[in-house]
Each structure stands twice: as structure tokens, then as C-alpha cells.
């Protein structure tokens, strides 16, 4: 349907012909209503009013939204304006306070500079006074220390001398004993060399005698054993060891297997022991010496080697080192009284000596045993010397401890003397120094007519008067 535009007159006529709705709608709604009412051909009334209602609703909604937006914008603008006014007030207040603070800072800066200058001047004066006092204190301290050192030296020199003299005497005795021990060691070494020479000669004679005696004792095992013990006894006597103190014979021990009795037990330092056995059989050796042909000699020599090997095994099986009360190494000496008997056996079987060592048996002849026993004697001598040295060292330690204790006590005495001196000077200062000192007050009693029985020392009175004269006027 074509809707043609109306002329102005008709628009006016149309407007005049239109009636206002019962709810006084907006001008736009009225115009639309009039516009559509003048259209040709006429429209359906239901559709028309529906369109009109929609347009009116939309228009009202838009107007309401616009009105609400304008109202909110106006409220926001008012709030912003109020906040702006508040910020302006705060800024003006801050500017005013800043101006005040700037003035205060300027005043404080001037005051601070003045105080700094005064402090610098005071500090310079204090440093100057400190330096002067330090110099005076150093001088006074040096004088006091020198005087104290002089007095301490004078007062304690005698006492220290009395304490050190016993120490000097003990040290002198210690040096004399050490020199004496060294001299004895030198003499003993010379004597040992002489004894070794004598031992060599003795061994030669004993070997000759042993050959003769072995020939006489053929086949008599008991006599051979006694003779071996006799030779062993001679060696022990010549070694310088003391029976009953350094060694004992036929010491009996009771074990689970029965009684065991080593021929000789030698005592060593630190409760150690050595066991010596002298019951080796020499029957085969005597046959070897007296054999008339090589066959008999070789047979007797093999028997001699076998007898020594059997004795070595027997001594190894006895385990003397496990006897109760015996502190012995796992080694026993098998004494062979004839040097040549051992030499011939070793020549026939060079493994005999090594085999004995592996079985903890040490084969000893008169020469080697005497050398070993001399070593034992030297060990005992060294033990005694060590005991003396330890005793001397212990005494020296006690003297040193006493000296340290005495010096500590003397230091305490010195500090207490200093404290007593300070207390004395303080008391005397209270007695005659300063205004209202005790002497001046006591003299006032006498001036006021108090009866006194004795006079104060004139020197102290004069000193108190002199102190008062030099006091500054108040």
C-alpha cells in the first residue's frame, strides 16, 4: 500500500482532527496516530492500534532509560564536583602547612649549624684536654710502675732467693746424678768388653774341660744333666745376676697335667720372665768324639742330631709360657753346655737352628747365653736408672709446681698491697684533704673550747691547713 505525503494544510488539518489519548501520550505518538489516521485507503483498526501500542511502549522505554541515565550522570557530576572541592581544600591546607614547615626547616637549619659549630668547638677542647690528661696519666703511670717494680724487687728478692736456692741445689744434684750414671755406663761398657774377652777364654777352657768330662761321663745321663746344670750355674754367676732376685733355680709350677719345674727362670723388668733348660743329652756326642772310625763317627753324629731335635720338640711341647704366674714369651732357651756339640750338630744339619726357632726354642751355648744374660743385667740397670730419672723428674716437677704457686701468691700479695695503698691514700685524703676534713673539724672543736687530752700530729695539721689554703674560693 502506497502512502503519499500530505501537504502542510492537510498535516495541520490532520493534527487538528486528531484527539489526545486518555493518557496524554507524547507528541510523537500523537503525530503518528494522526498520520496513520489520514492515510488512504484506511487500514485495519486492530493492526493500527497494535503498531501504535508498540511504538508508544518503545518510546516510553527509551525515554525512561534516557531519563535514568541523565539522572545518574547528574548525580555522578555532583559527586565529582564535591570531591573536587574537597581536594582543593586539602591542597590549600597542604600548601599552607608546607609553607609553615619550610619556615621551620630554615629555622632548624640555622639552629643546627650553630649547634654543630658549638659542638665542634667543644670537641676540640675535649680532645685537647684528653690529650693533656693522657700525657699526664702516662707519666704518672710510668712513675707508679717504676716505683712499684723497685719496691717489689726490694721486698721479694730475698724470698725468691730462698725459694730458688733449693731448686738450684736439686738441679745440681740431678746433674751430678746424671753425670754419675753416664760415667757408670761408660765404666760398665768397658767392663763388659773385658768380661767378653774373659768369657771367650773361659769358653775355651770350658770346652776343653767339657771334652774331658764328657769322656768320663759316657752313658751316665743323670750325671750329664747335673753337669749341664753346673755349667749353667757358672754362667749365671759370671753374668752378675743375683740368685733369688734376678733368677731362681728349680721353680715348681702345678698344672692340670702335673708339676713342671724349669731349670732356671730369669726375671726381666716389667714382670717378664725367661725360661732356661739344661737337660740336653750328650751321649751320642761323646760317642762321636770317642769314635775310632768314620762309620761309627757318622752314626754317632746322626744320633746326636736326632737327640737334639727330639729335645727341641719336647721343650716346644711343654709350653712353659702358659704356666700360671709366668709371664714369658713363647720362647725357651735350650742350653747346650759344650760349644762344639752345638757346632757339630749344626754342621751336620744346617736346618736344625731354624727348625728350633720355628718351634719357639732358642739354642744357647755358654758364650751366647752369657751375652744374653749380660743384656738382661743391662736392662735391669737401665730400669733402675729410669726409676731414678723418673724420681728426679717427679721432684723437679713438684719444685716447679711449688714455685708457680709461690709466684701466684706473690702476685696476689702485690695486688693486695696496691689495694691497701689505695685505701690508705683514700683514708688519708679524707683525713686532711678538702673542705670539712676531719682534722680541720677536730681543730674547730679545740677552738670552740672543747677540752682535749692529746694533741693531733703537727705534720698532719699543717698539711690539712696547706690543703685548705690552696682550695679555690667558692
The residue among 409 and 318 whose pLDDT is bigger is 318
405 shares a domain with 354: no
The last residue of a domain, from among 351, 386, 421: 386
232 shares a domain with 373: yes
255 shares a domain with 115: no
CA 210 – CA 280 distance, rounded (Å): 14
Residues in the chain, total: 474
CA 378 – CA 375 distance, rounded (Å): 5
Instruction: Confirm whether 430 is domain-assigned.
Output: yes
Adjacent-strand bridge partners of 271: none
204 shares a domain with 137: no
413 shares a domain with 367: no
Q: Look over the chain and give the mean of its residue pLDDT values, rounded to a whole number.
A: 73
Q: How confident is the model at residue 313 (pLDDT cuts 50, 70, 90)?
A: very high
| Three-class SS state of 1 | coil
- Cβ distance 392 to 177 under 8 Å? yes
| Phi/psi of residue 218, nearest 5 degrees | -60, 125
Give the global pTM: 0.42
Q: Among 239-253, 322-336, 430-444, whose mean pLDDT is lowest?
A: 430-444
**What Rg, from alpha-carbon coordinates, does the chain have?**
67
Helix axis angle, 366-432 to 438-447, nearest 10°: 40
CA 169 – CA 176 distance, rounded (Å): 10
Instruction: Confirm whether 404 is domain-assigned.
Output: yes
Q: What are the residues whose beta carbons fall under 8 Å from the beta carbon of 39, sequence distance 6 or more?
A: 3
| Phi/psi of residue 189, nearest 5 degrees | -65, -40
Q: What are the residues whose beta carbons fall under 8 Å from the beta carbon of 398, sequence distance 6 or more?
A: none
Instruction: Confirm whether 16 is domain-assigned.
Output: no
303 shares a domain with 268: yes
The residue among 31 and 5 whose pLDDT is bigger is 31
Task: Provide the residue range defining the domain that includes 123.
Answer: 67-143
If you average pLDDT over residues 89-103, what whole number do you get?
85
231 shares a domain with 106: no
- Please count the CA atoms within 13 angstroms of the CA of 81 that sit on its side-chain side: 6
**Residue 171: pLDDT over 80:** no
417 shares a domain with 380: no
449 shares a domain with 317: no
Q: Residue 422 has which C-alpha cell?
A: 689505695
Q: pLDDT (tens digit, 9 = 90+) per residue, 247-267?
A: 888 787 877 777 788 888 888
- Please work out, in degrees rounded to the nearest 5, the angle formed at the alpha carbon of residue 339 by the alpha carbons of 346 and 282: 80
Amino acid at each position: 500500500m502506497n502512502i503519499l505525503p500530505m501537504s502542510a494544510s492537510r498535516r495541520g488539518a490532520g493534527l487538528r482532527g486528531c484527539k489526545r489519548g486518555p493518557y496524554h501520550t507524547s507528541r510523537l505518538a500523537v503525530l503518528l496516530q494522526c498520520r496513520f489516521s489520514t492515510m488512504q485507503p484506511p487500514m485495519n483498526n486492530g493492526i493500527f492500534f497494535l503498531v501504535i501500542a508498540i511504538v508508544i511502549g518503545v518510546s516510553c522505554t527509551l525515554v525512561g532509560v534516557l531519563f535514568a541515565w541523565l539522572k545518574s550522570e547528574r548525580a555522578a557530576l555532583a559527586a565529582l564536583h564535591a570531591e573536587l572541592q574537597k581536594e582543593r581544600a586539602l591542597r590549600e591546607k597542604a600548601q599552607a602547612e608546607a609553607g609553615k614547615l619550610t619556615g621551620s626547616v630554615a629555622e632548624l637549619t640555622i639552629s643546627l649549624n650553630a649547634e654543630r659549630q658549638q659542638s665542634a668547638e667543644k670537641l676540640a677542647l675535649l680532645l685537647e684536654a684528653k690529650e693533656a690528661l693522657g700525657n699526664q696519666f702516662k707519666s704518672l703511670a710510668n712513675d707508679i710502675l717504676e716505683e712499684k717494680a723497685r719496691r717489689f724487687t726490694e721486698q721479694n728478692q730475698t724470698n725468691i732467693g730462698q725459694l730458688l736456692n733449693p731448686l738450684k741445689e736439686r738441679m745440681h744434684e740431678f746433674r751430678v746424678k746424671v753425670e754419675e750414671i753416664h760415667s757408670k755406663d761408660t765404666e760398665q761398657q768397658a767392663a763388659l768388653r773385658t768380661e767378653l774377652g774373659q768369657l771367650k777364654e773361659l769358653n775355651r777352657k770350658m770346652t776343653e774341660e767339657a771334652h774331658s768330662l764328657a769322656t768320663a761321663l759316657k752313658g751316665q745321663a743323670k750325671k750329664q744333666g747335673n753337669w749341664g746344670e753346673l755349667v749353667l750355674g757358672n754362667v749365671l754367676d759370671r753374668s752378675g745376676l743375683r740368685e733369688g732376685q734376678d733368677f731362681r733355680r728349680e721353680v715348681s709350677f702345678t698344672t692340670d697335667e702335673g708339676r713342671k719345674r724349669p731349670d732356671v727362670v730369669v726375671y726381666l723388668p716389667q714382670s717378664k720372665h725367661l725360661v732356661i733348660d739344661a737337660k740336653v743329652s750328650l751321649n751320642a756326642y761323646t760317642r762321636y768324639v770317642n769314635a775310632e772310625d768314620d762309620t761309627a763317627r757318622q752314626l754317632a753324629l746322626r744320633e746326636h742330631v736326632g737327640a737334639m731335635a727330639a729335645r727341641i720338640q719336647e721343650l716346644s711341647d711343654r709350653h712353659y709360657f702358659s704356666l700360671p704366674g709366668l709371664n714369658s714369651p713363647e720362647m725357651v732357651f735350650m742350653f747346650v753346655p759344650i760349644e762344639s756339640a752345638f757346632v757339630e750338630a749344626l754342621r751336620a744339619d744346617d736346618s736344625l737352628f731354624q727348625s728350633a726357632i720355628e718351634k719357639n726354642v732358642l739354642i744357647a751355648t755358654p758364650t751366647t747365653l752369657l751375652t744374653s744374660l749380660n743384656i738382661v743385667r743391662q736392662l735391669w740397670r737401665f730400669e733402675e736408672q729410669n726409676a731414678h730419672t723418673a724420681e728426679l723428674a717427679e721432684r723437679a716437677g713438684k719444685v716447679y709446681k711449688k714455685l708457680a704457686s709461690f709466684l701466684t701468691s706473690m702476685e696476689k700479695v702485690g695486688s693486695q698491697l696496691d689495694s691497701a695503698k689505695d685505701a690508705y691514700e683514700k683514708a688519708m685524703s679524707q683525713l686532711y684533704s678538702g673542705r670539712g676534713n676531719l682534722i680541720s673539724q677536730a681543730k674547730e672543736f679545740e677552738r670552740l673550747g672543747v677540752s682535749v687530752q692529746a694533741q693531733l700530729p703537727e705534720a698532719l695539721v699543717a698539711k690539712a691547713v696547706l690543703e685548705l689554703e690552696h682550695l679555690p674560693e667558692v
